[in-house]
Structure 1
């Protein structure tokens, strides 16, 4: 029962971690009009949080392994909630960039200790548990327009961030008092990264770049195709809500067929992102949402198999760090291309990136990976090959 409570609370923290960051895409048309900025500058509002988010991943994994993962998760939630609330005080574009940068630092402390904790707690069922955890992006992204758009249209778009901050702060308090003691802390923390994660990291770089570029500009793309902001936001939420089923289903699938599921997810994302660009029919958002959010849990479970207990947080952080370098570049590059070529041509980069990620995973599966030392008999404390 204790493990299920932990999984639920950590997943709630992850939901709001995404909700804060995805408030900008949901409100992009309003922010762009109010601050008189371009699509490229909207992309930079994502980049400004994703760059520090990426850089903090490996240190977060090591710090969580060293001091305790629950402590770091509470600090992360409180930090990203308070920093995001300061958007209420911003008055121009540069203020927004600074606040989003600070938010990115605290938000970046979350993923590595959370996934390491879940992988350790659930072990053989980690695919299913991580699949449940990774509903965070889908729910967080999906509920965000439902919360922030009505507040923005009724009052002010800045006030939306304050409401999100109040909600996420409650999760930190619950995690602090409902879960007693430290949950997951290895006896020995080791700062080492195996070579076997490099192809996987590159696939994650392209996959997350495509994912965040799509989420950043999907509402704007739908508006450009004639949808109202309210209708586009509703479709955006539908995409994410379907993603909940995709994330959970993919977790169970990984427990049964393993790493093959990662390549399959990337291939299906390539197919459906391409189809929605050549035929922008709302019905395609259903399969797109299912596969779009299926990647997170299974790629996280695959990553955990490349680490031992002593460096699990570090490896989780490294693969996610490289992925978020891609997430940092993706929105800006695609936003810049939209300003130059228009939505459809620019957004074709997204299915191309997903297809390349699938090929990289196929190559990775073809290699015989060295087993982590902590899994080899007689070498429980030996280091990874670096």
Structure 2
């Protein structure tokens, strides 16, 4: 299926506005979560905390994001995606204001938690809304949305790195509130309510726990979740400290630009990864991407020079193709009656465990083990590649 054909299928039947609204919201949700790593040297300096303190702040954002996944997934099955998507964007706008005015480090951590909880409402609703709207092209639709998020993750941190010296990190972070408010209005206007006639009746609460437990024990789900957890751990450690690591020898604006290139590579990989998985299957795409990612992370301490680092940054971003492929796979093999709840529960598990990656790297950096931290992330990624090599097809995933 060509690029034009795929784009036409995604736009058909007026569904393009739904995709555009969800993707636009994701631009600011995920892009906002990478603002803190982009200005981390200024944040740690302002509050007089070391790399460990910076790593903890990033972990708090992602851990609270993770903790919201399970309740948000349950809410998808009960109140629908439209309310959750718009509500998440509204609450995120308020939380970045809290970050911008935080007077002390503990208050900043509180703002990080608020931002994590608010953005945590978005993920499960985003995935199920796209899977419901594009049942035959879910990989391509999710890939396009996550690619848009990668563009936001490239542009917003790059702008932050360019403006932080003149505007200050507080104004840079709080300045995200207006576009979040606009995105909330767009989502409310464009994403339709669920059709009650086509939505399965909610599982009684008394039976819900057992059904979810049986769902997540499926072989395909178990393998995919174990591998994506390792990939997230590695990515959290990499993304939290990539700018800080490079800024030891490069100007911070240059380091922020290289960080942006990582997400440019990610956007391209996500656009292609979802479509390739729809055509050739998830196992080969996930295995190859994670294997390349392991080599690329191990190369970070070994590569010097602006052009080689730019090329490496682009390659590092290809690991982001994991998200649309694994998301579409897991959602597809979960039972319809508990898709939202089970998906939210799984997202809580793998994001919560993955969130510890930034703290681990921060602690190692403060102990003069920055290079070794990247080798650890490479090894974790290699284990994920091995797991993906045994991923069953969708047809046999429930075995």
TM-score by length of 2: 0.88
- Structure 1 pair 163–183 and aligned structure 2 pair: CA distance change class (3 A): farther
**Residue 234 of structure 1, CA deviation:** 0.9
Cα deviation, 1:9-29, whole Å, max 9, x if unaligned, reads 111111111122111100011
Residue in 2 that maps onto 1:377: none
1:189 has 2:202 as partner: yes
1:252 has 2:275 as partner: yes
- Structure 1 pair 28–319 and aligned structure 2 pair: CA distance change class (3 A): same
Unaligned regions of 5+ residues in structure 1, if any?
372-386
Unaligned regions of 5+ residues in structure 2, if any?
1-12
Q: 2:92 aligns with which of 71, 74, 80?
A: 80
SS at match of 2:200: coil
**What RMSD over aligned residues (CA atoms) do the two structures have, in Å?**
1.9
| Maintained 8 Å contact 2:38/2:158 | no
SS at match of 1:123: coil
Residue in 2 that maps onto 1:300: 327
Q: 2:251 aligns with which of 224, 228, 235?
A: 228
1:93 has 2:120 as partner: no
SS at match of 2:39: helix
Aligned length: 369
Q: Distance in 1 between matches of 2:315 and 2:335?
A: 35
Residue in 1 that maps onto 2:10: none
TM-score by length of 1: 0.91
Residue in 1 that maps onto 2:141: 129
Residue in 2 that maps onto 1:205: 229
Q: Distance in 1 between matches of 2:192 and 2:66?
A: 30
Q: Distance in 2 between matches of 1:95 and 1:351?
A: 34
Residue in 1 that maps onto 2:314: 286
Q: 2:261 aligns with which of 238, 247, 254?
A: 238
Cα deviation, 1:236-291, whole Å, max 9, x if unaligned, reads 111211211110000111101112112222111111111233224312222222x1
Q: Distance in 1 between matches of 2:237 and 2:50?
A: 15
Residue in 1 that maps onto 2:384: 357
Q: How does 1:25-64 map to 2 (within 5 A)?
A: 25-64=37-76
1:15 has 2:30 as partner: no
| Maintained 8 Å contact 1:186/1:309 | no
Q: 2:290 aligns with which of 266, 291, 314?
A: 266
**Residue 68 of structure 1, CA deviation:** 0.9
Q: Distance in 2 between matches of 1:141 and 1:75?
A: 21
Q: Distance in 1 between matches of 2:386 and 2:189?
A: 45
Q: Distance in 1 between matches of 2:316 and 2:235?
A: 11
Greater alpha carbon shift after TM alignment, 357-366 vs 101-110: 357-366
SS at match of 2:74: helix
Q: Distance in 2 between matches of 1:288 and 1:148?
A: 21
**Residue 366 of structure 1, CA deviation:** 8.7
SS at match of 1:365: coil
